[in-house]
Amino acid sequence: MPVMPDEAIRYLAPKSGGIYVDGTLGGAGHAARILEASSPDGTLIGLDRDAEALRTAKERLLPFGDRVRLVHGNFAGIAEALAGFGIERIDGLLLDLGVSSHQLDMAERGFSFQQDAPLDMRMDRSSGATAAELLNSLAEEELARIIRDFGEERWAKRIAAFIVNARGEAPIETTLRLVDIIKGAIPRGAWEERLHPATRTFQALRIAVNEELTSLEKGLDSGVRMLNRGGRVVVIAFHSLEDRIVKNSFRHFAHGCTCPKGLPYCVCGNKPLLRLLTGKPVMAGEAEVGANPRARSARLRAAEML
């Protein structure tokens, strides 16, 4: 079930003959809507780091035939991926960020703290270090930084210390052992009523394992520069770190000039590339949140190429 599908399509505004990129294909819910809206001959390029997601998406998108092209890869490399098809310009880019419901539901992926499983957390299981490898190798100070900066967790330093102490007894390899360590680190009276105590630490580890924020910065920069005039970029974020990057990136491209504020006139010559379509992030409506709780934290921003 894609998040804010109607809003995403309204802001992306697909048209027949256009070339559109879904950089976070997932279960292809948004992709199918893009293909329907751009019929009869719009093209969709779908990227995903998760090979299992690509297999599922391929089956779902079979009815659209050769209008679909799928790539196993990170949207940070969007320019290289499209160059493989001889594509230099696109008419729209959609990014639905974060972990998918499908990945959360698969216990063996290690994203969820609700079920016991190996601490993997890689979106692309063919490469990179797992969450367990990071937990058992990084210095305490680096673990604290990751948990603080990527999880916005005020107990980061204490959690990191408990992790290092626990791994001294035996390697930390499963989700529920990590949950127990986190619960022990955060005083019981500081647990939040509506938020599991492990939520922020698991988010931080997932972001670190997959280098999500760096990928977002690179993908947005490349994707925006590939847009045709009038082309649109739509991004759905699920936490403040992602949304802040999207907001700042859009503002940077919409402002253009990079001269210091003290200069009396522009000397850099940079012109605005984008027109903001959403001043504030668009939030999901009550009916959608009721049907799909994941949509509660979703924030959609959109912009158009000048």
**Which CATH number is 27's domain given?**
3.40.50.150
Structure confidence at residue 108 (pLDDT): 59
How many independent structural domains does the chain possess? 2
Structure confidence at residue 103 (pLDDT): 58
* Mode of pairing for the β-strands spanning 19-22 and 282-283: unpaired
74 phi, psi to nearest 5 deg: -85, 135
89 and 115 part of one domain:
no
- For residue range 20-42, list pLDDT tens digits in order: 999 999 889 999 999 999 999 99
CATH number of domain containing 140: 1.10.150.170
User: Structural domain of residue 76, as residue ranges?
Assistant: 5-102+212-305
79 and 131 part of one domain:
no
Structure confidence at residue 257 (pLDDT): 73
Verdict on whether the full-model pTM lies above 0.75: yes
162 and 300 part of one domain:
no
- Average pLDDT for runs of 10 along the chain of length 306: 93 97 93 96 94 90 95 93 94 87 60 83 86 96 97 96 96 94 94 90 93 94 96 95 95 83 74 93 93 90 97
Structure confidence at residue 104 (pLDDT): 58
Structure confidence at residue 114 (pLDDT): 78
